[in-house]
Amino acid sequence: MNEENNVDETLRKETAEGAPEVQEHDVAMTLDGELVRLERDLAEAKQAVLYAQAETQNVRRRLEKDAQDARAYAATGFARDVLSVADNLQRALDSIAPELRADDKFKGLVTGLEATGRELTSVFERNGITRIAALGETLDPNRHQAMVEIPSADAAPGTIVQEMQAGYMIKDRLLRPALVGVAKKGD
């Protein structure tokens, strides 16, 4: 608007000083040029607003995903710590000799330990913690960690034939890999 006023002022001065009058055509061309510049500036401003809106939406989506992941995987550290408790409980159950299981003095203890193991498994399942299948599976480096190769004529090379420590997933993420022994071609 200021430039339009400047053009009008220039025209008045030139006319008053006796200068040749500016043709209407020249004024129209100046105004058309100014209009083109303003339209270009407006288009650039609209584009900048669209970019800013898109970036804001991307940031919002990222934050929502981060918050969702934080809720889903918040217990990861605690779950890793509790896995050692589950391992020790399973070792205790595995070490009970069959004759002690049948002894009336130890039946209550064995039953209590087994109930505790089932409850721990149930708590894991409710929180999305699942045991990784290992024995008889093909080695998957994303879920299993090979500790030894065992010569075997019965299993195909790369097949898991021994599980040294159970592996676990929390939802779709690896919590702890299974430590396994893998078959290799027999000698």
Residue 29's pLDDT band (cuts 50, 70, 90) = confident
Quick: pLDDT tens for 103-150: 888 888 888 999 999 999 999 888 889 999 888 888 888 999 899 998
Q: Which two tokens stand for residue 143?
A: 């879920």
The percentage of residues in the chain with a pLDDT greater than 90, rounded to a whole number, is 28
Least confident residue range of 27-31, 56-60, 137-141, 170-174: 27-31
Instruction: Please say whether the structural domain 130-187 has been given the CATH code 3.40.1360.10.
Output: no
If one compares 100 and 7, the residue with the highest pLDDT of the two is 100
How would residue 157 be classed by pLDDT, with cut points 50, 70 and 90? confident
| The Cα angle at residue 93 between residues 92 and 94, in degrees rounded to 5 | 90
Mean pLDDT of the chain: 83
Q: How far apart are the first and last CA of the chain?
A: 93
> For residue 34, with 0-12 CB atoms within 10 Å meaning exposed, 13-18 middle and 19 or more buried, which class applies?
middle
- Looking at residue 1, what is its pLDDT? 52
Tell whether the model's pLDDT for residue 12 goes beyond 90: no
Task: Give the residue among 160, 104, 99 at the shortest CA–CA distance from 133.
Answer: 160
Quick one: pLDDT at residue 5?
55
User: Tokens for 187?
Assistant: 């000698």
Alpha helices in 24-147 (DSSP H): 24-73, 76-95, 98-102, 104-126
pLDDT at res. 2: 55
Q: Where are the domains of the chain?
A: 2-70, 75-127, 130-187
Rounded-to-10 torsion of CA 39, 42, 48, 51: -80
What are the beta bridge partners of residue 25? none
